[in-house]
Structure 1
């Protein structure tokens, strides 16, 4: 049983004078690096695959199993990982996640064959399952509502950075050392991050040594639903499935992920086979959509927060607007194979990828908007679990269509059709964006500490 959480005094001079610390942005930086490392670690195997096939005499079928093994545990453990982060705190949830997946990455350098590779990839998925749910929970606790989409877009943008830099970085390491040492070096990077995380982070700004009272009041005064004071979990995770908005979030993110995974799975093959690019040119061009997506997501998160805070649109209208605009941009993936201009094709693909990230900036803000009290990580895990089945099915269905038709055209058009269904989902199924209220809490963790005297420093969101 935990003791009640201490709070910082509200009569702090900094509160009176309005000077606040910025510890939350240091936390944001650590969140960003965690996701960047996440994507670099999951990419190493793809680059090292030719060496692994040669050294261990792996057949294509065996290599396919190795490459997919990550998703077995990653998708299925999203909800448990979110529950752990909510119940025991995001410091433990994310710290253990990064530490464990980094150990799995480093240990891959000691692999002896097919069985060990599969086991280590499953272990990688177990660890990485905790990253996004924990980050969503941190965003809800450490940032006021008016910064929620900004921080969500920021930390998710790291996945595009990780994907864009992973290829040249890993190739350089392999050319300098070998594939085994490359896994070790990349894994050690994550372990260094974990040490910094355990030293610096606290689950709430109230308990953080670098967050002064003014920053705490800025955060708490700007939250429609207070976090960190009462740590009771509102309901069982499966009770979330009774709520319409949860289904809308899961199904919508499924369509976004289906489109997104094309850019990190089949895009290189598409550029080589159907656009006639050489490997060097392909490598450069394949990174362009990811780079465009990185900047688009950060901008969309920031802009959506400004729109809501200005009062021009409600929170619900803003979330829907950016989700629908983002998915409308993503429909360009269906137009890309219909043009004969390589330049126009690449431009359309960049717009499509940027669109998925515009939508993603809202996707990762929604768990904090709608989750019952102290269940943001669980909601994020549930949403991400369903979405990752889109990531798993997308490459398989695309491969089947390409094999059947001999072209990527129908596969990309099918992706656009799913994008249209995603638009309809967010337009019609997603209702008012507001916290789910549970009738009775089901998992008391300790007696709630009395909340501090109210001192609202920011205007609350209009939903």
Structure 2
């Protein structure tokens, strides 16, 4: 009997020990999954960020090759501006479809197809035998790259904490702007060495290879890899579960009719429209014509502005998350941004001293990305399940500004180019940039403060929709 009890006790101890070992093994397995999720999200984001570098390259590259295009195709200033604007029109009109694709098809397939299309368009642009093919290539590039950023925001909402969204948007903007920096002095060097045709064809080939990498590496959510969600890691329930997810068309209607969506749109229109008119279209010519700089040196000044934009996006997003405010940083940085444009337009009758251009352009670029907080606001004032659609509406603004403002300046150059001195001519043109920036600044005061969290369910708009 004693032997039997002894044997039973040993068996019970073995069962308990095995249970503890299984529990410990399960805990270790879960811990490993958490570690894998927290590390792999950076791989997913990193590959998408590489695609975003291509986006920024094409966004600003056209200004550097202006003389090459004029010499090759014999185009006017308005036609040149329209070539540049083709990218922005395509990008703008694709923003809502991009949000729908990001929410339905998923970031992986969306970015793969978009980057592939952009690569084909870049090759077409580089090999274009006539204006039609030049415009067609630029159009394909615009359509292709238009889906990348919204997909990144969608991935961020699935792989990163809500409190990290502003910071991650700033980091994403910083990395993307490396493509904008490459589209200045480095591009001028490459074009001088390889010709503009070979350079754009080469970028197209790289884009096609990157599309393949996106498909292999990127995953839409941690669940696609059997990993825990960020909400599960934080011990929270998904906010999207707190409010019933509306159908797709209703989601679009809700975001479009939400008055809190639109201030970010207007801010992005004014701020970025003015910035890209300088750095992506007319800045190189401005520095050559007004200051007499050599064509190979002028991009250095614009590169400083783009570097400022990259660093500013990183810092502004971090500050916003740290102080738990979207509105205050937008107003503060927006004030400085508009002041920089006032200096460009009004100081020295439109010709500020050349000695201040480097710091002036850097500060202008550094403060411009106050608009990045508009993306976070767009997400935080709308239904959590439609992050792609709501941010895409806000994101349309910058490309609306980038599409309509440069041709306005081009028309001024074509109309008054033979009758005005260069300084007066550019002052007259850049006055429109100042006006755009000023209008955007006014709308920073109309932004709905979210305190860096989703307020849809608590907002008047959200309550009314829930009651319906």
More helix by share: 2
Task: Tell me the CA shift for residue 28 of structure 1.
Answer: 2.4
1:234 and 1:375 in contact (8 A); partners too: no
Alignment partner of 1:325 is 2:332: yes
Task: Tell me the TM-score normalised to structure 1 length.
Answer: 0.79
Partner of 1:75: 92
Which residue of 411, 414, 427 maps to 2:445? 427
Instruction: Name the CA distance, whole Å, in 2 between partners of 1:180 and 1:274.
Output: 28
Instruction: Name the CA distance, whole Å, in 2 between partners of 1:417 and 1:223.
Output: 42
1:94 and 1:134 in contact (8 A); partners too: yes
With over 3 angstroms needed to count, the CA separation of the structure-2 counterparts of 1:50 and 1:263, relative to structure 1, is closer
With over 3 angstroms needed to count, the CA separation of the structure-2 counterparts of 1:219 and 1:63, relative to structure 1, is farther
Q: Could you tell me which runs of 5 or more consecutive residues in structure 1 were left unpaired when the two chains were aligned.
A: 1-9, 309-317, 443-463
Instruction: Name the CA distance, whole Å, in 2 between partners of 1:214 and 1:129.
Output: 27
Aligned residues: 420
Task: Tell me the CA shift for residue 333 of structure 1.
Answer: 1.6
Residue 274 of structure 1 aligns to a residue whose secondary structure is helix
Where in structure 2 are the equivalents of 1:197-346 lying within 5 Å? 197-208=214-225, 212-213=227-228, 217-218=232-233, 221=236, 224-225=239-240, 233=248, 235-261=250-276, 262-308=278-324, 318-331=325-338, 332-337=340-345, 338-339=347-348, 340-346=352-358
With over 3 angstroms needed to count, the CA separation of the structure-2 counterparts of 1:55 and 1:128, relative to structure 1, is same
Instruction: Name the CA distance, whole Å, in 2 between partners of 1:267 and 1:52.
Output: 16
Stretch deviating more after TM superposition (328-337 or 405-414): 405-414
1:145 and 1:223 in contact (8 A); partners too: no
Alignment partner of 1:87 is 2:104: yes
Instruction: Name the CA distance, whole Å, in 2 between partners of 1:222 and 1:113.
Output: 56
Instruction: Name the CA distance, whole Å, in 2 between partners of 1:132 and 1:381.
Output: 9
Instruction: Name the CA distance, whole Å, in 1 between partners of 2:194 and 2:360.
Output: 38
CA deviation vs aligned residue, 1:287-336 (integer Å, no higher than 9, x gap)? 1111122112112222322333xxxxxxxxx1001111221120122123
Alignment partner of 1:385 is 2:400: no
Partner of 1:374: 385
With over 3 angstroms needed to count, the CA separation of the structure-2 counterparts of 1:386 and 1:189, relative to structure 1, is same
CA deviation vs aligned residue, 1:10-37 (integer Å, no higher than 9, x gap)? 9643656985632222222223211111
CA deviation vs aligned residue, 1:106-149 (integer Å, no higher than 9, x gap)? 23344221222222222222112212222222222221011101
Stretch deviating more after TM superposition (286-295 or 42-51): 42-51
Task: Tell me the CA shift for residue 369 of structure 1.
Answer: 1.9
Partner of 1:191: 208
Where in structure 2 are the equivalents of 1:26-105 lying within 5 Å? 26-56=43-73, 58=75, 62-105=79-122
Instruction: Name the CA distance, whole Å, in 2 between partners of 1:392 and 1:207.
Output: 38
Task: Tell me the CA shift for residue 49 of structure 1.
Answer: 4.8
* Aligned Cα root-mean-square deviation (Å): 3.3
Stretch deviating more after TM superposition (362-371 or 54-63): 54-63
Q: Could you tell me which runs of 5 or more consecutive residues in structure 2 were left unpaired when the two chains were aligned.
A: 1-24
